[in-house]
Structure 1
Amino acid sequence: MSADSPETVVIVNPNSGDGQHVEDVRNHANQLGYALRETASAGDAVEFARDAASAGASTVVAAGGDGTVNEVLRGIDDADALDSVTFAVVPVGTGNSFAKHIGVTGIDEAFDAVELGERRRIDIARTDEHLFVNSCIAGLTAESSGDTSDDLKRRLGVLAYVVTTLRSVAEFDSLPLAVDVYENGRESTAWAGDAMLVLVGNTRRFVTGGETPANAEDGLLDLTVVEDVGKLDLMGDAVAGKLFGRDSEHVERFQAPALEVTLRDPEVTRFSLDGEIVQRRSLSMHADPGVLEVAVGDGYEPAPRGP
């Protein structure tokens, strides 16, 4: 570490969340003697993180939402420094899913974690050219959260948005696909058919009752497939709850260290990797176990209990 290179660099996205956090983050960084880089356009966080890691920073902090988390991690990875840099998060975005899953819920707590928090080594997930730490999603998604009832969200989590979208669209072209899993040197087809949604979680697990933390230290990806339900009536919340409930025949869940999602037609589809969009006909992904050291909060559970 050179004398003029800071040991801790905070990369803040001023456009995350409500945009009211920059002064607070800046004050914390100044008080603790951290360097601060402020992004101005897409890709800046990748560049700043790569520069910081290449210069020998011991800790790189993403102050933003899940998209900023992904960009900062990509920059550290570009510098081939995941094994030498501690990663930390200041949750000032809208969803802050990753921060919640590592037990960090506010700005003060985040900087406490950087200074004094426990360090844990967690998994990330990799594709051929990309990485994600939260989740990979393909298929039917919904952004119209305002049209989704709180009760349905409590009972179904992210699947509630699927129900809302199905109620609002006249037709949905399901994804004819197959999911192959790789474990202990063996390949097998775990699922094949027409799907509405495929969700692969690294630190997120998609279950009835909401999204819950996955075990990010087990070397496994958590896969949820929501089958195409065709013309079934979803107008009643009770019907939707039963359809996508814990024992639903339309929802398949399993775990694997590596898997491949392949469309069974010539078309490509959009995969969202922590919000980064790639278009593929097939996508292979695998867990990269224990590769990332993270500063966690007091509420972090290495092996969260299921719902």
Structure 2
Amino acid sequence: MSATDSPETVVIVNPNSGNGQHVDAIRSRAELRGYALRETSAEGQAVEFAREAAAAGASTVVAAGGDGTINEVVRGIDDADALDRVTLGVIPAGTGNNFAGNVDVTGIDDAFDVLENGERRRIDLGRTDDHLFVNSCVAGLTAESSGETSDEMKERLGVLAYVLTTLRSVRQFDSLPLSVDVYENGRETTAWEGDAAIVLVGNARRFVPGEDSQANVEDGRFDVTVVEDVSTLDLMGEAVAGTLFGRDSPHVTRFQAPALEIALQNSESTRFSLDGEIVQDRSLSVYTDPGTLEVAVGAGYDPDPDRR
């Protein structure tokens, strides 16, 4: 794709997202509107395609897939140093489609309407030294049990469905002795310290079942949820999700922060999942990059969901 023939809008499709039946519908709608379409065939290829499209002058690059595809496309735009001039579009074609739901893009037809007529908003990104995330960063128990998690549970619980499935699947869980230090206004404070099962850092989403999952993604702050060691709880009942992660749970600590470090207090490492991209380390520092990503959003997107 050269700069001379680059279309203004490039749609990058992951054919393996969701049930895999979305490609023909997306292709026909893209052709009707004169959008270019590129179909991935390997993990990480959406990064390459997005980087090439942005470097060639596309004004809108669209991720058609789930949250992992969105992450790859944003990484590609970032690699091209084009976040200041390229708009991200999303077409929900994954299973959970958490980010698409948080910006109120509800289906394929709706996605193309939003691309044509939707409002553009500048939202925050989450960053580490070497990685970025749009939706969330999860430390500890991660979404490794996605194949065992039912679609119905994903619909009801989102990312927490993977967490609950993972908790059920481990015969013996070694809790993580860790600390969470917050950096704000030039000060460092320890927000949490102890034995944790999981730390959930939400950028575009928060983790409270039964409530709107959309976080304020324009405030330059993360929504952080720490779940303490729950190895003694009965994790087999589905009702545990509402109890364990509920707003008033004694096992959960919640706070907000623009930057933080999650550090293990022993010599072991743990997995950090950034929109599904796995990083293994003993610590991870994350910070918000406020207002750096322009996104086409649906009419129901709320810039300030906490005011309700």
Q: Return the TM-score normalized by structure 1.
A: 0.91
Residues 249 and 64 (structure 1 numbering): CA distance in 2 closer, same or farther, change over 3 Å?
Answer: same
Equivalence for 1:136:
137
Q: For 1:266-305, what aligned pairs fall within 5 Å after superposition?
A: 266-305=267-306
Stretch deviating more after TM superposition (14-23 or 297-306): 297-306
Aligned residues: 304
Q: Does 1:145 align with 2:145?
A: no
Deviation string 1:258-292 (CA, Å, 9 cap, x unpaired) is 00000001111111100101101100000100001
State the alpha-carbon separation in 1 of the partners of residues 53 and 14 from structure 2. 16
Equivalence for 1:48:
49
Q: Does the residue aligned with 2:31 lie in a helix, a strand or coil?
A: helix
State the alpha-carbon separation in 1 of the partners of residues 25 and 96 from structure 2. 19
C-alpha deviation, 1:239, in angstroms: 6.5
8 A Cα contact 2:98 2:158, kept in partner: no
Equivalence for 1:6:
7
Equivalence for 1:203:
204
Alpha-carbon RMSD across the aligned residues, in angstroms, is 2.4
Letter in 2 for 1:276: E
C-alpha deviation, 1:138, in angstroms: 1.5
State the alpha-carbon separation in 1 of the partners of residues 254 and 43 from structure 2. 34
Q: For 1:49-88, what aligned pairs fall within 5 Å after superposition?
A: 49-88=50-89
State the alpha-carbon separation in 2 of the partners of residues 43 and 227 from structure 1. 33
Q: Does the residue aligned with 1:291 lie in a helix, a strand or coil?
A: strand
Deviation string 1:4-47 (CA, Å, 9 cap, x unpaired) is 22111111111111111111111111111111111111121111
C-alpha deviation, 1:94, in angstroms: 1.2
Identity across matched positions, percent: 71
Stretch deviating more after TM superposition (184-193 or 8-17): 8-17
State the alpha-carbon separation in 1 of the partners of residues 95 and 241 from structure 2. 27
Letter in 2 for 1:263: L
State the alpha-carbon separation in 1 of the partners of residues 212 and 17 from structure 2. 21
State the alpha-carbon separation in 1 of the partners of residues 208 and 307 from structure 2. 9
Stretch deviating more after TM superposition (283-292 or 156-165): 156-165
Equivalence for 1:127:
128
Letter in 1 for 2:260: L
C-alpha deviation, 1:210, in angstroms: 5.5
Residues 225 and 26 (structure 1 numbering): CA distance in 2 closer, same or farther, change over 3 Å?
Answer: same
8 A Cα contact 1:272 1:278, kept in partner: yes
C-alpha deviation, 1:245, in angstroms: 3.0
C-alpha deviation, 1:168, in angstroms: 4.4
Equivalence for 2:233:
232
Equivalence for 2:216:
215
Equivalence for 2:193:
192
Q: Does 1:15 align with 2:19?
A: no
C-alpha deviation, 1:163, in angstroms: 4.7
Residues 3 and 262 (structure 1 numbering): CA distance in 2 closer, same or farther, change over 3 Å?
Answer: same
C-alpha deviation, 1:165, in angstroms: 4.2
State the alpha-carbon separation in 1 of the partners of residues 160 and 17 from structure 2. 25
Equivalence for 1:37:
38
Equivalence for 2:246:
245
Q: Does the residue aligned with 1:115 lie in a helix, a strand or coil?
A: helix
Deviation string 1:202-224 (CA, Å, 9 cap, x unpaired) is 00100142660000100001100
Q: Return the TM-score normalized by structure 2.
A: 0.91
8 A Cα contact 2:141 2:271, kept in partner: no
